[in-house]
């Protein structure tokens, strides 16, 4: 089988699956993207958009114009592969930046499988979730236009895959039966508990599992991942518990949403609000909140392993890999009662849930875990078991991904996912709700 992977940030979500096919001489693998990254055994064709969207382009369609330019760049890279003798049987592409727009026109005989990560909505997901950011008519019009490239991709795809059921259900109802739910997978042999784990802080102090440690991780520290709520809860916890240390991992950029008013980063804004006194001096407890920035993967895992309670908050949006990696490491999750989290965490069974916007309730729930060693042990064991049984890379997710690609190549399409259960309208999902349930999705789940 000849497989073409397409993602601007090579390898993106295809890290494990491309490695599998590249290692098998029975297959040929190629990759189209923007980031220069060598993958052993994989032909790589890079592209750049010919230009940026025009200044005079209507604001609603500036994003779409950028996606068209990315799509054209991907086609040029595909032509280079074709000229070099590579024509794919199956294409795996992320449609978010536009690379997938014209691939079926270039390779009409190839099967196209899209990574259906998210579909934008003016109701029921991230937009309108924060009551301080009301949805206007302008917002609704902009969101509808924002989906143009995604809709074109859904129409062209032969099949799709979403990492969670909630993310699948954000897509329009007519397309959902052609989207399987298969997570990218977590390497639970690498992400595993280690009773001997330690973390050395920049000031030289070393923390272990014998210390009272709370952790928070996000790619970037921002409201979409609940950073303001977390920092307000952290300030309360540090006041209540003089022996507590809090470790924060993440960068200062904005992945989603907007920067704080007045400029700067959300880390700076929330530090000023929660860790400085009226005179602008650090509060005494601030020395026990350690903001570590972005870290190498092995050090990040050590932080998860020494954690007694790991806070994971998110808007109704894409579920982060970090929550599942924390569960695989045996961390006790204290998460937001939002649909992506509640699809995985059952309150009191394999973690604890709390309201996204309530820092005092979050602090209370963290203390529930810190004060009860027996509860922590039970939740830790159940979290690890959930990660292994539902999200293990080698035993669960990668075999399902491989089987789905083989089915597509052979012309065997999985059964429609909507058979035998009632669909939910994502517009009915409101802030703080968790109307999630488990479902089997075709033979590839």
Q: Do 251 and 303 fall into the same domain?
A: yes
Domain assignment of residue 381, yes or no? yes
Answer whether residue 437 shows pLDDT above 70. no
Q: Do 303 and 340 fall into the same domain?
A: yes
Cα dist. 180→16, 255, 312, 423, 429 in Å?
Answer: 18, 26, 26, 14, 21
Q: Do 408 and 351 fall into the same domain?
A: no
Domain assignment of residue 445, yes or no? no
Q: Do 204 and 336 fall into the same domain?
A: yes
Q: Do 133 and 91 fall into the same domain?
A: yes
Q: Strand, helix or coil at 100?
A: coil
pLDDT at 35: 87
Answer whether residue 418 shows pLDDT above 90. no
pLDDT at 76: 98
Closest to 126 in 3D by CA, of 380, 398, 417, 429: 429
Domain assignment of residue 401, yes or no? yes
Q: Do 89 and 149 fall into the same domain?
A: yes
Domain assignment of residue 85, yes or no? yes
Tell me the CATH number at 178.
3.40.50.2000
Which tens digits make up the pLDDT trace of 159-179? 999 999 999 999 999 999 999
Which tens digits make up the pLDDT trace of 69-85? 999 999 999 999 999 99
Q: Output b/e per residue, 197-228; b: 16+ Cβ within 10 A.
A: bebeeeeeeebebeebbbbbbbbbbbbbbbbb
Q: Do 151 and 38 fall into the same domain?
A: yes
Domain assignment of residue 203, yes or no? yes
- Range in 129-133, 212-216, 378-382 the model is least confident about: 129-133
Residue 40 near residue 63, CB atoms below 8 Å = no
Provide the domain count of the chain: 2
Q: Do 202 and 62 fall into the same domain?
A: no
Q: Do 225 and 177 fall into the same domain?
A: no
pLDDT at 136: 96
Percentage of the chain with pLDDT > 90? 89
* Domain range for 12: 2-184+393-428
Residue 43 near residue 20, CB atoms below 8 Å = no
- What is the mean predicted confidence (pLDDT) over 106-132? 96
pLDDT at 425: 45
Domain assignment of residue 117, yes or no? yes
Does the CA dihedral 239-240-245-246 come out positive or negative?
Answer: negative
Answer whether residue 341 shows pLDDT above 50. yes
* DSSP letter assigned to residue 437: -
Which tens digits make up the pLDDT trace of 132-149? 889 999 999 999 999 999
Structural tokens at position 419: 């058979």
Euclidean distance between CA atoms 325 and 221, whole angstroms: 18
Euclidean distance between CA atoms 301 and 194, whole angstroms: 10
pLDDT at 415: 60
- What is the mean predicted confidence (pLDDT) over 48-59? 96
Angle between the 373-391 and 359-371 helix axes, to the nearest 10 degrees? 100
Q: Do 133 and 214 fall into the same domain?
A: no
Closest to 229 in 3D by CA, of 365, 350, 324: 365
- Range in 251-255, 354-358, 384-388, 415-419 the model is least confident about: 415-419
Which tens digits make up the pLDDT trace of 275-322? 999 999 999 999 999 999 999 999 999 999 999 999 999 999 999 999
Query: Residue 416: pLDDT band by 50, 70, 90 thresholds?
Result: low
Answer whether residue 420 shows pLDDT above 50. no
Answer whether residue 438 shows pLDDT above 80. no
Percentage of the chain with pLDDT > 70? 93
Domain assignment of residue 155, yes or no? yes
Cα dist. 351→36, 336, 355 in Å?
Answer: 39, 11, 14
pLDDT at 116: 98
- What is the mean predicted confidence (pLDDT) over 193-219? 97
pTM of the prediction? 0.91
Domain assignment of residue 434, yes or no? no
pLDDT at 419: 38
Element (H, E) at 77: helix 62-83
Q: Do 415 and 384 fall into the same domain?
A: no
Q: Do 144 and 6 fall into the same domain?
A: yes
- Mean pLDDT, the chain, rounded, equals 92
């Amino acid at each position: 089988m000849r497989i073409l992977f397409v993602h601007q940030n090579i390898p993106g979500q295809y890290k494990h699956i491309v490695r599998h096919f590249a290692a098998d001489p029975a297959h040929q693998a190629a990759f189209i993207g923007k980031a220069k990254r060598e993958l052993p055994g994989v032909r790589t064709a890079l592209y750049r958009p010919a230009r940026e969207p025009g200044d005079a382009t209507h604001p609603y369609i500036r994003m779409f114009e950028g996606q068209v330019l990315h799509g054209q760049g991907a086609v040029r890279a595909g032509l280079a592969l074709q000229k070099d003798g590579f024509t794919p049987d199956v294409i795996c592409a992320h449609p978010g930046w536009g690379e997938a727009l014209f691939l079926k026109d270039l390779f009409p005989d190839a099967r196209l499988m899209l990574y259906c990560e998210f579909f934008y909505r003016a109701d029921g997901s991230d937009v309108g979730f924060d009551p301080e950011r009301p949805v206007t008519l302008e917002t609704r019009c902009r969101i509808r236009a924002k989906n143009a490239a995604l809709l074109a991709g859904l129409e062209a795809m032969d099949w799709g895959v979403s990492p969670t059921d909630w993310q699948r259900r954000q897509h329009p109802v007519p397309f959902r039966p052609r989207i399987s739910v298969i997570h990218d997978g977590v390497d639970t042999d690498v992400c595993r508990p280690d009773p001997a784990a330690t973390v050395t802080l920049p000031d030289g102090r070393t923390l272990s599992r014998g210390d009272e440690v709370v952790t928070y991780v996000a790619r970037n520290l921002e409201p979409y991942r609940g950073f303001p709520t977390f920092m307000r809860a952290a300030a309360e916890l540090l006041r209540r518990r003089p022996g507590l240390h809090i470790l924060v991992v993440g960068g200062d950029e904005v992945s989603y949403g907007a920067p704080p008013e007045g400029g700067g980063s959300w880390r700076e804004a929330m530090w000023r609000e929660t860790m400085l006194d009226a005179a602008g001096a650090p509060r005494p407890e601030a020395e026990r909140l350690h903001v570590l920035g972005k870290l190498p993967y092995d050090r990040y895992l050590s932080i998860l392993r020494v954690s007694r309670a790991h806070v994971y908050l998110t808007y109704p949006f894409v579920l982060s890999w970090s929550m599942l990696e924390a569960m695989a490491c045996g961390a006790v999750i204290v998460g937001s009662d939002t649909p992506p989290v509640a699809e995985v965490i059952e309150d009191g069974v394999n973690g604890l849930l709390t309201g996204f916007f309530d820092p005092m309730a979050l602090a209370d729930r963290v203390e529930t875990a810190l004060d009860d060693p027996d509860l922590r042990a039970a939740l830790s064991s159940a979290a690890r078991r959930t990660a292994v049984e539902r999200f293990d890379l080698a035993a669960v997710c990668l075999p399902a991904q491989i089987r789905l690609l083989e089915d597509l190549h052979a012309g065997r399409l999985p059964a429609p996912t909507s058979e035998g259960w009632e669909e939910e309208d994502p517009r009915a999902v409101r802030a703080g709700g968790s109307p999630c349930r488990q479902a089997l999705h075709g033979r590839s789940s």
